[in-house]
Structure 1
Amino acid sequence: MGISVSNLACERGSTRILEGVDFDVPDGQALILRGPNGAGKTTLLRCLAGLTPPAGGTLTHDTDDVAYAAHADGLKAQLTAGENLRFWARVYGSGDIAPAADAFRLHDLVDRPAQYLSAGQKRRLALARLTLTNRPIWCLDEPTVSLDAQNVGRFADAVRAHMAGGGVALIATHIDLGLDTARVLDISQFTASADGTEHDPFLDEALS
């Protein structure tokens, strides 16, 4: 399946943010999105996830195949961590929540109401939802916010497992996740106000 984008244009409200976006991400691969604040990383991910309609160009994937994780954790505060996971498992037709809890070390927190979790624990719980979606494309906007180094590593392991199963990940982040095969795309060249200077959109170096 993978994901392919051709001459994509994206708007925020009535303002054109990105135009001429082109890239392909095959099955089992990840693409890291880089660019300064305001360059349009969030806008692009929302467009790929079907939350904002494209203003032009083509997308080859079905947006129903996308799991989107944004800045907000999206938790039900009155539910426990385990109840949140079970709720998402029912929504996405998944079964056992144990693999999700294992991936993000949540077993000790399953009986704790989400409102009493720390910022880092809430983020781990929100990311655990990804493993329950059964969706092949992950679009992730600064997913490691509030995570310590150890849990950044656990998140990276979850992405590797997703890729090993043929999944695709597009991740807007400024940190090195250690995903050796991931390509890096600087989207600032696609901003609607860019000067049009042509250069290779993929940075030469892989993440180490």
Structure 2
Amino acid sequence: MTELLLFDGVACIRGDRLLFEGLSLTLNRGGALWLRGPNGAGKSSLIRLAAGLLRPAAGMVTRRERTALADEATALDPERPLRRALDFWARIDTVDGHAVDRAMDAMALGNLADVPVSMLSTGQRKRAALVRVIASGAPIWLLDEPANGMDEAAQARLVAAVAAHRANGGAVLLASHFALGIPDLAEIDMGTLT
């Protein structure tokens, strides 16, 4: 089956505010969908719905494969050296150290393996969160503002990682203020849904 993630008539309410309703979408293998729009339009909420961290107010979200989320929280122990912090997640995701090595190489973080996470710059922490996603082996990547704090070289690595993931049958749901130059990117303007 090519469909990895489906939203059927989904509504999202945060606090007392309706962010969107009646949203239906399908994310297929090899696909990428860009959620764009102003702050507060529901981009991050839609990502959290896709991850199963929020429940829809109406409708249904179906995930047919595992997901990996990179959002504003790196979810890495700040006191541990980067490699040890990533190895913690590798054990949870039941992937071997080689997957972490390859992901660290993809994000150019191998030389920072022994640096505590708390000492990393904002861009380095963003890349470390992406290492966790890449190494997880999850077919569905949920990326909420993944390029914030990244320089152009890091953004190019992100685009290359997304391209490789899609070429291997993975799919990407991306919330961002800009498209990052990812080719063949479908889009939803979240600002028009309410």
Q: The TM-score by the shorter chain falls in which range?
A: over 0.9
Q: Distance in 1 between matches of 2:18 and 2:166?
A: 32
Task: Decide which structure has greater strand share.
Answer: 2
Counterpart for residue 123 of structure 2: 120
Counterparts of 1:124 and 1:142, CA distance in 2: 12
For 1:11 and 1:49, how far apart are their aligned partners in 2?
A: 16
Partners of 2:6 and 2:76 lie apart in 1 by 31
Listed as ranges, the gaps of 5+ residues in structure 1 are 192-208
Q: Which residue of 2 aligns with 1:6?
A: 8
Question: Which structure has the larger Rg?
Answer: 1
Q: Does the 8 Å contact 1:2/1:168 carry over to 2?
A: yes
Q: Find the aligned partners of 1:153 and 1:183 in 2 and give their Cα distance.
A: 19
1:24 maps onto 2:26 in alignment? yes
- The equivalent of 2:154 in structure 1 is 151
Matches within 5 A, 1:154-193: 154-191=157-194
**Matched position secondary structure for 2:115:** coil
Mapped partners of 2:73, 2:32: distance in 1? 22
Q: Structure 1, residues 113-157: CA drift from partner, whole Å, max 9, x if none? A: 111111111111111100122211111110111100110010111
* 1:84 alignment counterpart: 85
Matched, 1:139 2:142: yes
> Relative contact order (alpha carbons < 8 A, sep ≥ 6): 1 or 2 greater?
2
State, as a whole percentage, how many aligned pairs show the same letter: 39
Q: Distance in 2 between matches of 1:125 and 1:155?
A: 11
1:201 corresponds to: none
Normalized against structure 1, the TM-score is what? 0.86
- Please give the root-mean-square deviation of Cα atoms over the aligned residues, in Å: 1.4
Give the number of aligned pairs. 190
User: Structure 1, residues 86-114: CA drift from partner, whole Å, max 9, x if none?
Assistant: 11111100112210111101111001111
| Deviation at residue 14 of structure 1 after TM alignment | 4.5
Letter in 2 for 1:61: R
* Structure 2 length-normalised TM: 0.92
Q: Give the unaligned 5+ runs of structure 2.
A: none
| Residue aligning to 2:66 | 65
